[in-house]
Chain A
Amino acid sequence: MNCHEAINLWSSYRDGELDPSFCGEIQNHLAVCADCRRFFEAQERFDDAVARSLQKGQATASLWRRQESAIRAALESRAHETDTVSFWAGLLWPGRAFYGALAALWVALLAANWMADANGPRPLPTPTANRQDLLAEQRRQFRSLLMATDYEQPEPATHPLGPQSRSRPAPGRPPFTLHRQTTAVATLS
């Protein structure tokens, strides 16, 4: 170890934070180098003097007395706030049992869904013969009802053009016949 390295490591050596192997090297160097030894002694005296001066000081009694009162007041108000919050929290928010039950229900639903998926997709219902017959009957009833409504419903008496106005076709337009209505119903069915 040379002088430059020893001087650079002085601060850590002084604080006892240096690796033991480096400490040994520094001690060996100091044993043979008078300049470095003098430098180290001077630095140590300086550091001791500065540390002593920095450590001088007294606790200001009045300041700390005020702070102690503030600490007690802060802790009491904090405890009061905590009590208030925990009261309303207990009243308004459900407890652990509720959240446990909710979690169990969610897991059960998830499992049921997974099992349903594992069995494969459910087939769509196919129309049966009875269903076809029922639809045909419904169509027939609807057609007859539509025809009966068209011929039996009277004209409203309050029509501005009188009771016969709707039976007259517009110029250039064929009259509204039963044939047109049945065609529309057939198209629908």
Chain B
Amino acid sequence: MKPTRPVEKADLFLEWLRPQQRDLETYCRRLLWDPQELPDAIHNTLMRAVTHIERCQDAAHFRAWMFKILTHEALALNRKHARVARFEFQVEPQELERLAEAEPEAPWGRPGELSSWQESLEDHLDLALKSLTDPERAVLLLRAIGCFKYQEIAEELDLPVGSVMGYLARARNKMQAALRRKQTTRLEEL
């Protein structure tokens, strides 16, 4: 970052930050176990970015750099809830195995029913996300919201590219299993 005066630095930082605000907030809200911690996570991320502002040289790397800091902050906050995550939102391995087979019964398998399923998806999405482990959730969200390449995700999470591929495939399978379970429960309730 070239400017030396604090006002210029702040202006440039905010100029780069504004287009990313929506994605950063959406990503953080989905990644956090407790959405109430969103302001803390955002604030900590921005303060850390300001402290190390010299490390970001240009706008091209700013987005990935901010997502990286935000991911680490959110995962640090999530560690408080790790025990709950492990015991309450676990997807059974049998459900994942069943997904390896073709699934005509799944609602997204029938195009005509996709719109009604999409409506109910919003209700269950957060719970389905909680069935993922932190790395799986981070990889899935970085791909879906951040639209990053595998290589960029690997650099942001300090993981090998192969691990990113594995986490993403597992996350998608778990999401399907969790959403299908919720859909079935909802149909039974009706």
**Partner-B contacts on A (CB < 8 A):** 4, 7-8, 10-12, 15, 17, 35, 38-39, 42-43, 45-47, 49-60, 63-64, 67-68, 70-72, 74-76, 78-79
Contacts and interface: CB of A to CB of B under 8 A. Distances in A.
Nearest to A77: B6
Contacts of B111: 45
A35 B102 contact: yes
A54 B125 contact: yes
B133 interface: no
Tell me if A's interface is mostly helix, strand, loop or mixed: helix
B165 A75 contact: no
Given A11-B165, A46-B108, A67-B43, 5 more contacts: A15-B150, A49-B118, A71-B50, A74-B51, A78-B50
Interface string B22-60: 100110011000000011001100110011010000000
A166 to B, nearest CB: 86
B139 to A, nearest CB: 11
Contact of B14 (A42, A45, A71): A71
Interface of B: 5-7, 9-10, 13-14, 21-22, 25-26, 29-30, 38-39, 42-43, 46-47, 50-51, 53, 100, 102-104, 106, 108-109, 111, 114, 117-118, 121-122, 125, 141, 143-145, 149-150, 165, 168-169, 172, 175-176, 179
B30 A54 contact: yes
A56 B179 CA distance: 18
B10 A71 contact: yes
Given A49-B114, A59-B22, A67-B43, A11 B172 contact: yes
B109 A50 contact: no
Contacts of A15: 143, 150, 168
Contacts of B175: 50
A38 B103 CA distance: 9
A59 B25 CA distance: 6
Given A17-B165, A67-B42, A75-B10, A54 B141 contact: yes
A78 B6 CA distance: 8
Contact of A53 (B22, B125, B149): B125
B35 to A, nearest CB: 11
A43 B100 CA distance: 11
19 contacts: A7-B100, A11-B168, A11-B172, A15-B143, A38-B109, A39-B102, A43-B172, A49-B118, A50-B175, A50-B179, A53-B118, A53-B125, A54-B125, A59-B25, A64-B25, A68-B14, A75-B6, A75-B53, A79-B6
